[in-house]
Amino acid sequence: MNKEIQKVVIYARVSSKEQEKEGFSIPAQLELLRNYASVHNMIILKEFEDVETAKCQGRTNFNEMLKFLKNSKECNTILVEKTDRLYRNLPDYVTVDALPLELHFVKEGCIVSPTSHSSEKFMHGIKVLMARQYVQNLSEEVKKGLTQKAKEGFVTGKQPYGYKKLDKKQCVIDEQTAPYVKRAFELYAEGNISLRALSNRLFEEGFIYKPNTPKAYKTQIEHILKNKFYYGVIDYMGEIYEGKHEPLITKDLFDRTQEAFRKDNKPKHMIAKNFLFAGMVKCSKCGCNISGEIKKGKYIYYSCTGGRGECEPQHIYISEAKLEKQLLQAISNISITKEHSDWILQALKDSFKDEKAYCEERLSSLQKQKQILRDRIDNIYLDKLDKKISEEFWQEKHNKWTQELLTIQNNITAYEKANINFIEQGANFLKICTDAEDLYKYGDNSEKKQLLNYVLQNLTIEGENIHYDYKKPFDIFAKGLNRNKKLPRLDSNQQPLG
């Protein structure tokens, strides 16, 4: 009897417009997936593509694909090149995991479905986690480049209102908008005008913030008045560096403006004590946060804030000791044997060979672009010497290509420094699973919070009982990989045999 033909959708994604222009990924992904469907006698119902950056929230065609699958009665299968093409972040993973889908990761030779063995699901979760770690590391290297730019005295993002870009680094005062900024500081520093009144006053004096926003919003004015850039410094990631730009105001005027804010704003509520579970647990009835208070000078109790007026006063009232005892039990439930740990580490070695290959392929592409730009710069310089082109044309092209060269070199450096030791990361992850109870018991409040937030989610409390869910893949550990169960034999793609 012929096997029933399986109906599928295919999904391809690249992480930037740059990759799309290079033809780096989308066409290759589609060709791979179409061939796979043909070999396995599958019918492709729809194809979905996304070309977006990791900064954007949501993916148009990714969401359309999930909507299509939810409404389809004949298709529950996605073909995708590999794990990091389907998931851009952990929320994507959670969204897909909640649906009864069969996922074919073609390049990895892996199929995950609701009926998959728990060990297969676990490895799938590990791949997502490790890919996320790689992206975070790459992001850190990019931040290092921005930090260096700040140390050199240059703005790291868009130039502040009142300035204009001279080139990709240097900002100069914008004669059209700078008077608006300086006047705003002078008026507000007097200490007798609100942000709303300041916006109206400036508008009445003839200042137009932007063509489509003639009168600035309160938040826009506040952002300007709290920006240290205007008195000549760069404030990046909490560190202050001397700027290369011309100051628009004095430090004294800036300080008087900040003092005016303290007079204008209402005092903020201060937390008297850094309670361990503050901001982590919600009331199961009304959804408000629970808050802590000290009784008899030493005992800590938690209760619902009642911010929505829907809770009885005694719906929640629990001591920190009782609450911590339940959460310690949740942490203690996570366990793993050495046998499983060794098996997972071996699987990790094979799982991320493809990530390494991708990184090397990307570096090769960047090196080629770098050489092309160097050749262009050398050639145009010779043309200038031979008087084949004008000095102005040479200067324009030289500056443009030099900036592009700097961007490419920064990307190369980021990829080179982001060479994560995936196996070491996996070992650290498994250490948490092995020593979670001790890590909690001997950690300070900050470390305890970090561990709980890493392992648990959806924490709610009802009376004296705490409810929670384990984050993936900790849910598998908490449910327990059977300690007496023999590990499956794996093929070269880390799939169980037989």
Question: pLDDT tens digit string along 257-269?
Answer: 998 887 655 333 3
253: nearest Cα among 183, 197, 199, 180: 183
pTM of the model: 0.39
The confidence score (pLDDT) of residue 122 equals 76
Choice between 284 and 310, residue whose per-residue pLDDT is larger: 284
* CA–CA distance, 408 with 267 (Å, rounded to integer): 47
> pLDDT category, 304, cuts 50, 70, 90?
confident
Q: How does pLDDT run across 323-348, given as a tens digit for each residue?
A: 889 988 888 888 777 777 777 777 66
Q: Which of 49, 31, 55, 135 is nearest to 86 (CA)?
A: 49
The dihedral region occupied by 469, where left means phi > 0, alpha psi between -120 and 50, and beta the remainder, is beta
pLDDT value for 493: 47
- Please give the Cα distance from 304 to 288 (Å, whole number): 7
Say whether pLDDT at 219 is over 70: yes
pLDDT at 98 over 50: yes
pLDDT attached to residue 205: 85
Q: Residue 33 — pLDDT band, cuts 50, 70, 90?
A: very high
Query: Mind listing the pLDDT tens digit for each residue in 419-453?
Result: 555 555 666 677 777 777 888 888 788 888 888 88
Residue 20 has pLDDT above 50, yes or no: no
pLDDT higher than threshold 70 for residue 17: no
Q: How far is CA 307 from CA 282, 287, 288, in A?
A: 12, 9, 6
Q: Categorize the per-residue pLDDT at 307 as very low, low, confident or very high, splitting at 50, 70 and 90.
A: low
11/137 Cα distance (integer angstroms): 26
For the stretch 111-135, pLDDT in tens is 999 888 777 777 777 777 766 665 5
Q: What is the pLDDT of residue 79?
A: 96
pLDDT tens digits along 46-82: 999 987 654 454 577 898 999 999 999 899 999 999 8
Residue 27 has pLDDT above 60, yes or no: yes
d(CA 397, CA 381): 10
pLDDT band at 212 (very low <50, low <70, confident <90, very high): confident
Q: How confident is the model at residue 226 (pLDDT cuts 50, 70, 90)?
A: very high
pLDDT at 116: 84
Q: Is the pLDDT of residue 497 over 80?
A: no
- In this model, does residue 145 exceed pLDDT 70? no
Residues 352-409 pLDDT 10s: 666 667 677 778 888 999 899 899 989 998 998 888 999 889 888 888 888 888 888 8
Nearest to 174 by CA among 160, 188, 157: 160
Mean pLDDT of 172-196: 90
Give the pLDDT of residue 211: 78
- pLDDT exceeds 90 at position 8: yes
The pLDDT, as a whole number, for residue 490 is: 43
Q: Which long-range contacts (CB under 8 A, 24 or more apart) does 373-376 make?
A: 373/401, 373/404, 373/405, 373/408, 374/405, 376/401
Edge-to-edge strands, sheet with 110-112: 42-51, 6-14, 77-80, 102-105, 110-112
- Token readout for 280 is 């982590």
Residue type, 111: I
Residue 459 pLDDT more than 80?
yes
Contacts of 3 (CB under 8 A, 6+ apart): 41
What is the pLDDT, as a whole number, of residue 228?
Answer: 93
Enumerate domains of the chain plus CATH numbers.
6-115 (3.40.50.1390), 119-151+269-498 (no CATH), 158-264 (3.90.1750.20)
Return all residues near 474 (Cβ < 8 A) that are at least 6 apart: 334, 433, 455
State the SS3 of the chain: CCCCCEEEEEEEEECCHHHHHHCCCHHHHHHHHHHHHHHCCEEEEEEEEEECCCCCCCCHHHHHHHHHHHHCCCCCEEEECCHHHHCCCHHHHHHHHCCCCEEEEHHHCEEECCCCCHHHHHHHHHHHHHHHHHHHHHHHHHHHHHHHHHHCCCCCCCCCCCEEECCCCCEEECCCCHHHHHHHHHHHHCCCCCHHHHHHHHHHCCCCCECCECCCCHHHHHHHHCCHHHHCEEEECCEEEECCCCCCCCHHHHHHHHHHHHHHCCCCCCCCCCCCCCCCCEECCCCCEEEEEEECCCEEEEEECCCCCCCCCCCEEEEHHHHHHHHHHHHHCCCCCHHHHHHHHHHHHHHCHHHHHHHHHHHHHHHHHHHHHHHHHHHHHHHHHCCCCCHHHHHHHHHHHHHHHHHHHHHHHHHHHCCCCHHHHHHHHHHHHHHHHHHHHCCCHHHHHHHHHHHEEEEEEEECEEEEEECCCHHHHHHCCCCCCCCCCECCCCCECC
- The listed range with the strongest mean pLDDT (125-129, 414-418, 465-469) is 465-469
- Does the structure show a pLDDT above 60 at 478? yes
Which band of pLDDT confidence, cut at 50, 70 and 90, is reported for residue 45? very high
